[in-house]
A and B are shown apart, each in its own frame.
Chain A
Amino acid sequence: MIEKSVKQLSAMLAAKEISAVEMASEYLARAKAMADLNAFITLDEDKTLIDAQAADTMLANGSAGVLTGVPIAQKDIFCQQGWKTTCGSKMLDNFVSPYDANVIELCRKAGLVTLGRTNMDEFAMGSSNENSFYGAVKNPWDKTAVPGGSSGGSAAAVAARLTPIATATDTGGSIRQPAAFCGVTGIKPTYGIVSRFGMIAFASSLDQGGPIGKSAEDCALLLNVMAGFDERDSTSLEHAKEDYSRNLNTPLAGLRIGVPKEYFAEGLESDVAAAVLAAIEEYKKLGAIIVEVSLPNTKLSIPAYYVIAPAEASSNLSRFDGVRYGHRAADYSGLTEMYEKSRSEGFGAEVKRRILTGTYVLSHGYYDAYYLQAQKIRRIIANDFQAAFELCDLIAGPVAPTAAWNLGEKNADPTAMYLEDIYTLAVNLAGLPGMSLPAGFAANGRPVGLQLIGNYFSEAKMLNAAYQLQQVTDWHTRAPSL
């Protein structure tokens, strides 16, 4: 069962070959047996079975949809009523959410069954999952490797077949990079497509939810559930509902795929480049036309991102004050000390670094030099993409310069890890959709991802291109031996 697609699981449930309760129980047993991967922060069998029973009722009374009864893992960033929602932080270790995020509401309405809450870098800040208060997730392909971050738990859970699909979020690559490192498929949609209501905020102008699954088809079906206008998110787009799976079978003949030369320059490991170029060759065989494009300001995405993201984080995370929810220090004298001690104890090192950085760049006299300048560079980067999309329909390249590194390898120097996000950050800055799909393996046997970037609202086209590649390659069906 664990290798089945969402469509196949859905058919099994519809044909009454298996009940939602039985299906959830099988996945839960597997998740428990592989607890050493640390992919989940919370499993709660009773709650899962309540969801599954509700799904079985929907299946029995004819109100079921395509995804009713299908199990899902939720990233621990989406508030879910009655579930501990920690965002990977000690700050929220005691937080049981009193409400549902929009994404959770939509999953509930669709009859999806929550298996548990997946591990993540604290407040989604990190590229290796080592910043989680609950300890790092292990990469299912090699338990000495990082799973990527920040949605490392979601990616590892799908890779290890602990769940068929998972929710995730992407602020600077947090869906695409762990999907690449774990050999699974994930898509970050156009900014504003998936509601941020109830999704614990990191950098509000960049944060975007999206699905992770074994295949492009599974991602399309989950994105159908997650996407939609929500008036409670001020940046949600009033965009008509789409069926993201509608173009999966469209032939690719004549599709123009742009390859940015800057993504294959110095810094890209040769084995990663080889796998990505082989995938692009496959596209040629499928009838796509490969054109060279240029994204000349790619390098500036690192400084622009590491101004904008910390600035917005310092503002968003000011809500954690030990007053209304979250951690409060045990001893303090006076209100200021209560704030300072609660925040100092509740936040981990990377979160503190980013809050301090953000506070500095927003402080008196520096706003124009840093935040405003970064927003202008954002425009330059977005314009570069529009120039490239004059020449092509989709852009293809690597997700990250290397395959997964070893646990602990890059911990000593925080800024060294920032440089690993070079191919993913610009997509968030421009607000474009981006995805990662499996494209083979590096010399050390760890997965490599192919990144596809589309223009605004071109998710269906990207999923089409990914699906077509997955019809002629089998990288996405490879699973780690566990």
Chain B
Amino acid sequence: MSLSIEDVARIARLSRIAVTGDELAATQGQLNQILTLIEEMRAVDTSGIEPMAHAQDVMLRLRDDVACEPNRRENWQAVAPAVEAGLYLVPQVIE
């Protein structure tokens, strides 16, 4: 499995990371190297083996559906790049 330049551009777009010009070819080479490294794993026979996400196979806990955090909007928004009247500012998305 080898990625083309078009594949790399598509992955970059999905990742929301701008990869342009000369970077595309360099990135293509590096990603293909990584894919070669992980390729050996795909040939392993894993039929009948349960995938493992957590060593203790714990179930996600549930909690009561009640408010448990105080309102700290001003603290959270103090570190935001742009806010106004308690709202996060982003470029216009709806005409």
Residues of B within 8 A of A (CB): 3, 7-8, 11-12, 14-19, 27, 30-31, 33-35, 37-42, 44, 46, 49-56, 58, 60-61, 63, 72, 75-76, 78-82, 88, 90-91, 93
Contact = CB atoms under 8 A, between A and B. Distances in A.
Interface string A438-459: 0000000000000000001000
A355 B34 contact: no
A340 B14 contact: no
18 contacts: A95-B79, A96-B79, A190-B55, A234-B60, A303-B41, A304-B41, A335-B91, A343-B17, A343-B18, A360-B3, A360-B11, A372-B51, A380-B46, A414-B34, A415-B30, A430-B55, A431-B55, A432-B55
A288 interface: no
A237 B59 CA distance: 10
A7 interface: no
Contacts of A369: 42
Contact of B37 (A303, A322, A337, A355): A303
A62 interface: no
B44 A334 contact: no
Contact of B88 (A323, A361, A373, A415): A323
A376 B52 contact: yes
Contact of A98 (B19, B40, B61, B76): B76
Contacts of A306: 34, 37-38
Contact of A456 (B3, B7, B44, B56): B56
A190 B56 CA distance: 10
B59 to A, nearest CB: 10
A356 to B, nearest CB: 5
Nearest to A300: B41
Contacts of A370: 38, 42
A457 to B, nearest CB: 10
A335 B54 CA distance: 36
Interface of A: 94-96, 98-99, 190-192, 205, 231, 234-235, 237, 299-300, 302-304, 306-307, 314, 318, 321-328, 332-341, 343-344, 347, 352-353, 355-357, 359-361, 363, 369-370, 372-380, 382, 413-415, 418, 430-432, 456
A355 B13 CA distance: 12
A146 B54 CA distance: 32
Which 6 pairs across A and B sit closest by C-beta, in order of nearness?
A431-B55, A375-B51, A303-B41, A376-B46, A328-B81, A344-B18
B17 A344 contact: yes
A303 B40 contact: yes
Given A356-B17, A359-B14, A373 B90 contact: no
Contact of B80 (A324, A335, A352, A356): A324
B54 A324 contact: no
B46 A192 contact: no
B82 A379 contact: no
A237 B60 CA distance: 11
B37 A302 contact: yes
Contact of B90 (A192, A338, A353, A357): A338
A172 to B, nearest CB: 14
Given A357-B35, A373-B41, 14 more contacts: A99-B75, A192-B54, A235-B54, A237-B56, A303-B37, A304-B41, A333-B91, A334-B91, A344-B19, A356-B15, A369-B42, A415-B34, A431-B55, A456-B56
Nearest to B79: A325
A317 to B, nearest CB: 9
Contacts of B38: 303, 306-307, 361, 370
Contacts of B53: 205, 375
B78 to A, nearest CB: 7
Given A324-B88, A334-B91, A379-B50, A414 B55 contact: no
A363 B46 CA distance: 21
B61 A359 contact: no
Contacts of B63: 231
B42 A373 contact: yes
Contacts of A376: 46, 49-52
Nearest to B51: A375
Contacts of A337: 18
Contacts of B81: 322-323, 325-328
A378 B15 contact: no
B58 A192 contact: yes
A377 B15 contact: no
- Most B C-beta atoms less than 10 A away, residue of A205, A323, A418: A323
A234 B79 contact: no
Nearest to B89: A323
Contact of A300 (B12, B14, B40): B40
B17 A347 contact: yes
B55 A191 contact: yes
B6 to A, nearest CB: 13
A372 B46 CA distance: 10
B77 to A, nearest CB: 8
A323 B90 contact: yes
B80 A357 contact: no
Given A340-B16, A373-B41, A414 B80 contact: no
